[in-house]
Amino acid sequence: MSQSTDPASPADRIAAGYAFTGPALELGALLWDGACLPDRQIRVPLSMLGRHGLVAGATGTGKTKTLQLIAEQLSAAGVPVFLADIKGDVSGISVPGTVNEKIAERAAEVGQRWEATGFPSEFYALGGIGAGIPVRATVTSFGPVLMSKVLQLNQTQEQSLGLIFHYADAKGLELIDLKDLRAVVAFLVSDQGKAELKGIGGLSTVTAGVILRSLTAFEQQGASEFFGEPAFDTGEFLRTAADGRGLVSVLELPAVQDKPQLFSTFLMWLLADLYADLPEVGDLERPKLVFFFDEAHLLFKGASKAFLESITQTVRLIRSKGIGIFFVTQTPKDVPADVLAQLGNRVQHALRAFTPDDAKALKATVKTFPNSAYDLEELLTGLGTGEAVITVLSEKGAPTPVAATRLRAPQSLMGPIDAAALDTAVKSSPLYARYAQPVDRESAYEKISAEQAAAEAAAEAAAAEAEAEKHAEETAREAAKAGRGAPEHEPSLAQQVVGSGLFRSLARSIGTQLGREISRSVFGTAKRRR
């Protein structure tokens, strides 16, 4: 292949597919026949960023810098952005970058007027673990499907957890944190609670045991920090700065990167919560928010059928709410086919083919692209860092020609800011005072504990009253016997039971969990009310 100024040349035909009339983000310059062509720019229409996308490629090929480049331009266009910062190297988007020889060379190659620029940013952390404004969710808002995912429950156990949530909702038992969920599960397998779910399937003690053990393991990972109040309002992600630029929300995840299933599922909750709260808006000139889902393969690993269906539905429908999603992962095969089919924009960095599995993945990736003037198998293994194969949706919604592209350099700092600067940014945010301190109000745990305490008090009072009555009757009998020589009356059956060692043992056990369950059975504690 050779360069040509002939309008019918492959390079010109590719470039013509990116000549949009409306607002567009500049991605880079076309690569053709081994040369970078700065006069042939590769772009993506701003209106099409709501049609979702994929940024894929092997480790070290430049995926993070690509999402930083796109995020910068979205912010400049007034579109809020959400970034999941897995490795802690995206915080630099908040401060201007530093020019160096490599950046200057890249800018000249791709025809970019590079200017160091920082972008308005907020920094968040899951439950306050790590640097950032704490993002918390209630157990109720998280829901049984997502909770089943993080607890690694099977289908039967997931269905049982759904019944538990249903019961708690119906009875006004607020599931705020994990101890609330634990309390409800324990109650529903107690003597009194067993009957509560009988009409809708019941909850076996075996399944309850699995759920409780899974909750224990979950808590040992530090998960209790993520659930509670004040619950985070995901509408905070839709804000713009005073100068009209979109706010970049950076969720700092380095402190929990060893818990991938947890943070990936939590990110899915954020999307589901946004979907539930936002009105239908249809196609917009620019999206309300673009959400970058880094390390997306972790979200789908080991996912149940119900969970995958939930993700697919959310991705399919959230576009009508004005939300665009970009999944960032290593190969397209990391994303289920039903989800991949919803992604209209594609930035594919280099792939490696060192093993038979790699070669198979490469061939599968090539098949997912439209017909191309390139030899994609050869091209995808030969791309350099910061280069990618791109196809997006045109302003009319049709796929653009496949274009090998040398990408522009981000204008913000390509690396993390220092810890002191990050801490200052977090604590100077007006949201810090709103969300920093946890609140533990009355919820399911407190309501169940209060009833158990009332049952214990009632049991102790009944035992004391019965003991006093027995003592009074014995005293009266002794007095009557001494005075009149009357025969002693046999104690009643109730008196025999109350005076027995078994009853006294039961009263002493009231303070234990077993005792509380027994007392509910014996003394018929009333059902909880709203």
Residue, of 452 and 190, whose pLDDT is higher:
190
Sign of the C-alpha dihedral computed for residues 463, 467, 472 and 474 taken in this order: positive
Q: 155-170 vs 139-151: helix axis angle to the nearest 10?
A: 170
Residue with tokens 């109000």: 441
pLDDT digit string (tens) for 86-100?
Answer: 888 899 999 999 999
Task: Give 430-457 as a DSSP string.
Answer: TTHHHHSS-B--S-HHHHHHHHHHHHHH
First to last CA, the chain: 75
Burial class (CB in 10 A: 0-12, 13-18, 19+), 479: exposed
**What pLDDT is stored for residue 529 in this prediction?**
37
Strands 387-391 and 81-85: unpaired
pLDDT digit string (tens) for 309-325?
Answer: 878 888 899 999 999 99
Lowest mean pLDDT segment, chosen from 141-150, 156-165, 339-348, 512-521: 512-521
Whole-number Å distance between alpha carbons of 479 and 435: 70
Number of H helices, E strands in the chain: 19, 12
**Residue 8 pLDDT grade (very low, low, confident, very high; cuts 50, 70, 90):** low
Whole-number Å distance between alpha carbons of 105 and 34: 17
Residue, of 123 and 494, whose pLDDT is higher:
123
Which amino acid belongs to residue 379? Answer: L
Report whether 319 contacts 50 (CB < 8 A): yes
Mean pLDDT in residue range 119-142: 92
Report whether 403 contacts 369 (CB < 8 A): no
pLDDT digit string (tens) for 300-311?
Answer: 877 777 778 878
pTM of the predicted protein model: 0.81
Report whether 323 contacts 280 (CB < 8 A): no
**Residue 220 pLDDT grade (very low, low, confident, very high; cuts 50, 70, 90):** confident
**What pLDDT is stored for residue 509 in this prediction?**
41
Whole-number Å distance between alpha carbons of 397 and 425: 39
User: What Cα–Cα distance (Å) separates residue 324 from each residue in 69, 342, 471, 477?
Assistant: 16, 11, 76, 85
Nearest to 384 by CA among 349, 409, 355: 349
Mean pLDDT in residue range 286-302: 87
**What pLDDT is stored for residue 7 in this prediction?**
54
Say how far residue 30 (Cα) sits from the centre of its chain. Answer: 36
Say how far residue 113 (Cα) sits from the centre of its chain. Answer: 37
Whole-number Å distance between alpha carbons of 498 and 328: 68
Element (H, E) at 168: helix 155-170
Nearest to 119 by CA among 249, 227, 233: 249
User: What Cα–Cα distance (Å) separates residue 321 from each residue in 103, 115, 272, 338, 344?
Assistant: 37, 34, 11, 20, 16
Average pLDDT, the chain: 85
Residue with tokens 């998280």: 142
pLDDT digit string (tens) for 434-476?
Answer: 999 999 899 989 988 888 777 778 878 888 888 888 888 888 8
**What pLDDT is stored for residue 22 in this prediction?**
94
**What pLDDT is stored for residue 485 in this prediction?**
53
Lowest mean pLDDT segment, chosen from 10-19, 120-129, 285-294, 466-475: 466-475
**What pLDDT is stored for residue 75 in this prediction?**
98
Whole-number Å distance between alpha carbons of 286 and 300: 29
Length of the chain: 530
**What pLDDT is stored for residue 2 in this prediction?**
45
User: What percentage of the chain exceeds 70 in pLDDT?
Assistant: 89
Which amino acid belongs to residue 52? Answer: H
Asked if residue 242 has pLDDT above 90, the reply is: yes
Asked if residue 393 has pLDDT above 70, the reply is: yes
Whole-number Å distance between alpha carbons of 241 and 332: 34
Mean pLDDT in residue range 278-284: 89
> What tokens appear for 287 in the block?
């999206």
**What pLDDT is stored for residue 461 in this prediction?**
83
In the chain, what are the helix, strand and coil shares in percent, each to the nearest 5? Answer: 50, 15, 35
**What pLDDT is stored for residue 368 in this prediction?**
85
Nearest to 255 by CA among 265, 263, 245: 263
Residue, of 272 and 67, whose pLDDT is higher:
67
pLDDT digit string (tens) for 264-275?
Answer: 778 888 888 888
**What pLDDT is stored for residue 129 in this prediction?**
85
**What pLDDT is stored for residue 450 in this prediction?**
84
Q: Which residues contact 150 (CB under 8 A, 6 or more apart)?
A: 218, 223, 261, 262, 265
**E strands of 22-152, at which residues?**
24-32, 35-45, 53-56, 81-85, 121-126, 133-135
Q: Which residues contact 134 (CB under 8 A, 6 or more apart)?
A: 124, 125, 126, 127, 128, 232, 435, 436, 438
